[in-house]
Amino acid sequence: MIAIPAIDIMDGSCVRLVKGLFNQKKTYSKNPLDFAKAFEDAGITHLHLIDLDGARMGKPVHLKLLEKIATETSLKVDYGGGIRSMQSTGEVLSAGAQKVNLGTFLFSRPDVPGRCIESFGQESLIAAVDIKKGKVAVKGWQQLSGLETDGAVEALMAAGWRYVSVTDVSRDGTMQGPDQAFYKPLVERYPEIRFIGGGGVASMTDLRMLESFGLYAAVTGKAILEGKISAEDLSLFNHVPPA
């Protein structure tokens, strides 16, 4: 399993929210690039970079920061937040992201998942299936769609998607630990999907548990920023699972 640190950007700073609530914000650094370089120095290979301003505005805001991180580090960056068109998806990839996280746009019309795969290929895309109150959350987690987890995953599989990030919004930023009953059955039902888990990861024990479920990767944000997990320990999980 790959363990991926998360940097959430708001107003140019590295922040964390609780349960996706914009009014529950803690700022950790005015220079996210320094965080990214520290992760690289610790041996970490991947980075989950979320544009919270973009999620609120409906378009990517921090592409220059993405470009800096992509050019000044060797980190493989997946980027999300406000990417709601084919054009924006292409712009994010051109700015240096290895993969693009698509959520709101992906679930806007039934034809979008297939069009994205045709245009950008499955290795460049991650479907962000963010679950809140049993439904897929969209528009910066502020609204609920009518889709449930299984329905979303099955539709994505039919369109040729391979990477699916499933976040339990109720636990995101809480460090309560991930919900065992949430991830294990999902991986067992859809073994062909490379699942990326997140939401509440608070310790190395949590990461080992998610690894035991067969997840492709796990994302942690607040735990590493609060020093509950060290960057060096996180780097121990940087092993790409076999195809």
Q: What are phi and psi of 220, to 5 degrees?
A: -135, 140
Catalytic residue among 130, 168, 172, 206: 130
Start-end of H helices in 159-221: 180-189, 204-213
Q: What are 224's two structure tokens?
A: 């590493």
Catalytic residue among 8, 53, 78, 206: 8
* Number of helical H runs and strand E runs in the chain: 10, 12
| Contact status, residue 170 vs residue 130, Cβ threshold 8 Å | no
Rounded CA separation 132/2 (Å): 24
Rounded CA separation 176/162 (Å): 28
Collapsing DSSP states into helix, strand and coil, what is residue 39? helix
153 alpha carbon, distance to own chain's centre: 16
Q: Which residues of 162-190 are buried (b: 16+ CB within 10 A; e: fewer)?
A: bbbbbbbbbbbbebebbeeebbbebbeeb
Rounded CA separation 33/163 (Å): 26
Give yes or no: 130 in active site. Answer: yes
| Contact status, residue 2 vs residue 31, Cβ threshold 8 Å | no
Give yes or no: 78 in active site. Answer: no
Catalytic residues: 8, 130
